[in-house]
């Protein structure tokens, strides 16, 4: 999968462009994402790689984010931080990552992914439930029991409910993920 650069080298690159507390979060997410992948029969190496790279652009300035990932809607114009997944995808590509599953997971960790994208689901769950956040233990538990789809449904629903409770309009892609999982949950 990686011919010219190792995961260790990529991890070091990420470490140098984020704050220490962000890097600690990244490592927790990558480890948990790999655990979730193993529990659900997914490629743990790819999932770990996506975890290492998911927040590579998280500490970029608003200007850098907009330059790497031009806003596609009003929410992104108002809140450039919402672009850090797409910007992270661009960073990963610049560093030689070509695996579409990994790239989609990096991009989708902010908004959510389609229910067919298992590595993206594992990363999304790991990001919202890593132990350092102190929340969503039940969601993490479901995923580690091999109940990936159920955990993902709960994670997306939880995120939308949280945003709405704060008076924050969910991103259109998050709402698309929400509608997909609530429809899936009903069937």
pLDDT, mean of residues 15-34: 98
Span 32-51, average pLDDT: 98
Residue 86, C-beta contacts closer than 8 angstroms, at least 6 positions apart:
68, 69, 107, 110
The confidence score (pLDDT) of residue 99 equals: 96
* Euclidean distance between CA atoms 40 and 122, whole angstroms: 9
Q: Which residues, other chains included, contact 111 with Cβ-Cβ below 8 Å and sequence gap of 6+?
A: 82, 85, 171, 173, 174, 177
Q: What is the mean pLDDT of residues 56-65?
A: 98
DSSP state at residue 60 = S
For 7-186, CATH gives: 1.10.3210.10
Q: How far apart are CA 71 and CA 68, in angstroms?
A: 10
pLDDT tier at 185, thresholds 50, 70, 90: confident
What are the pLDDT digits (tens) for 82-102? Answer: 999 999 999 999 999 999 999
Q: Specify the pTM.
A: 0.94
Going from N- to C-terminal start, the domains of the chain cover: 7-186
- Structural tokens at position 15: 């470490």
d(CA 183, CA 175): 12
Please state the rounded mean pLDDT for residues 43-68: 98
Per-residue pLDDT at 186 exceeds 90:
no
pLDDT beyond 80 at 1:
no
């Amino acid at each position: 999968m990686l011919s010219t650069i190792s995961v260790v080298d990529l991890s070091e690159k990420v470490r140098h462009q984020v704050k220490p507390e962000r890097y600690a979060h990244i490592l927790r997410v990558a480890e948990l994402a790999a655990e979730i992948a193993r529990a659900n029969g997914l490629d743990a190496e790819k999932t770990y790689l996506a975890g290492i790279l998911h927040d590579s652009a998280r500490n970029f300035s608003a200007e850098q984010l907009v330059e790497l990932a031009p806003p596609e809607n009003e929410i992104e114009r108002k809140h450039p931080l919402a672009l850090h997944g797409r910007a992270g995808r661009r960073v990963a590509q610049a560093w030689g990552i070509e695996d579409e599953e990994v790239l989609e997971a990096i991009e989708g960790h902010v908004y959510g992914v389609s229910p067919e994208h298992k590595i993206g689901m594992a990363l999304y769950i790991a990001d919202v439930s890593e132990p350092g956040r102190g929340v969503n233990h039940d969601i993490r538990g479901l995923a580690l029991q091999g109940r990936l789809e159920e955990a993902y449904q709960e994670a997306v629903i939880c995120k939308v409910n949280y945003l709405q409770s704060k008076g924050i309009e969910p991103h259109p892609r998050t709402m698309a993920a929400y509608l997909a999982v609530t429809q899936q949950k009903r069937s």
